[in-house]
Amino acid sequence: MVHTFQFTAMGSPCEVQADCDDPELAKDLGALAEAEARRIEARFSRYRADSLVGLINEAAGVATRLDAETAQLIAYADACWRMSGGLFDITSGALRRAWIFDGSDRVPDAESVAAALAHVGWNKVGWDGTSLTLAVGMEIDLGGIAKEYAVDMALARLARHAPGVPVLVNFGGDLRVSGPRAAGERWRVRIEGIDPDQKPAWLELAAGAITTSGDARRYVERGGRRYGHILDPRTGMPIMEAPRSVTVAAPTCVEAGILSTLAMLQGAGAEAFLKSEGVKAWVTR
């Protein structure tokens, strides 16, 4: 039977489901996954000044030597930046200084967008594979990777602790399963509606990961135009005609996460992008 263990981490409701007969083991697995989520949150959260990411942002202008795990994550982000032609950029957080998506009509003027944009661009950082140097005013945000990475790491940790026990790890809607359930059936997963008025949808999966990007509630509207919260790090402007949400299935959570983010960044071209990448995906408009 499936035991569920719930907690809140990384600002999201999290849960671990284990398909086994031992409730104590299920509890242990849940606690292990929670420990992993908290470890990664403590290291990579932008909101915690004492996290590694907080320290890197604090040390703008000075080279920070990274430990192996952080270096791997940064290298991954670096590769994604290059692969996406600059669309995926962990330095884009500085644009939030210009844009505040609260449903109001506050669209920033061109000067403030340009001022924020001056502090954005992965090509402006110093990165040699071990040390990272941010220019003053720049910041990095691993929010686009860390939660997905935490899911993959937690799943690996559970697999080592209890090999063969089917588990589902779901951190705030980014989830991955170890494989089919004990009797071979698929996991039934509830994908929450992005809009409050939407009904949740159910997906079934037997392997791999699913992530969802999008938050239709965050926008500003002016002159009849709705500016969504997905910002293009190259122009500093919102991506127009971005889907309300994109859900992507991929073997690992980090892959799914990047693909769903990149799809959102394609705006009107999201479906075409997902199609050309050949990934299984669901798009809400």
Partner 1 sequence: MQLSETKYRKLGSIAAGLSALSANLLSANAAHAQDASAPQNTEAHLPGLMDEPAPGAGSVVLDSSVLFYQETGGRVQAIEPVINGEVHLDNGDVISGGLTYDSLTGATPNGAAPSTGRQTFSSIIRQATSTQVTSTSASGNSTVTSIPGTTTANSVYTQPARAIPLASFHDHRVAANLTYNWQADADTHVKLGGAFSVESDYTTFTGTTGISRDFNQKNTTLSLTASVEGDISRPHGGTPTAYENLNTLVTGGNDHKTVINVVGGVTQTLTRFWLTQLNYNYSTSSGYQADPYRLISVVDNSGAPLAYLFESRPRSRQRHSFYWGNKLALGPTVADVGVRYYTDSWGIKGITAEVSEQVPINRYLYVKPLFRYYKQSAANFYEPYLISQSGATTFSGLPAYASSDARLSRFSATTIGGRIGWRLFEDSELYVEGESYRQAGTHTIAGAPGQLAGLDFFSGVHAISVMMGFKIKM
Pick 74 or 116: Cβ nearer partner 1: 74
Site track 23-62 with partner 1 (rule: CB under 8 A), x = hit = -----x--xx-xxx-xx--x--------------------
Nearest distance in Å: CB 68, partner 1: 6
Report how far Cα 266 is from the mean position of its chain's Cα atoms.
Answer: 16
Nearest distance in Å: CB 138, partner 1: 20
Site track 91-130 with partner 1 (rule: CB under 8 A), x = hit = -------------------------------------xxx
Applying CB under 8 A, the span of 103-111, 133-141, 192-200, 230-238 interacting with partner 1 comes to 192-200
Q: 131 phi and psi, to 5 degrees?
A: -110, 140
Among 191, 220, 231, 265, binds partner 1 (CB under 8 A): 191
CB atoms within 10 A of CB 153: 20
Among 80, 175, 210, 242, binds partner 1 (CB under 8 A): 80
CB atoms within 10 A of CB 215: 16
Nearest distance in Å: CB 280, partner 1: 5
Nearest to 255 by CA among 209, 192, 212: 209
CB 265 within 8 A of CB 214: no
| Beta partners for residue 202, in sequence order | 190
Rule CB under 8 A: say whether 204 interacts with partner 1: no
DSSP 38-54: HHHHHHH-TT-TTSHHH
Pick 156 or 237: Cβ nearer partner 1: 156
Applying CB under 8 A, the span of 55-63, 103-111, 149-157, 165-173 interacting with partner 1 comes to 149-157
Neighbour order of strands in the sheet with 131-133: 63-65, 131-133, 126-127
| Dihedral sign (CA 70, 51, 150, 133) | negative
Rule CB under 8 A: say whether 161 interacts with partner 1: yes
Rule CB under 8 A: say whether 156 interacts with partner 1: yes
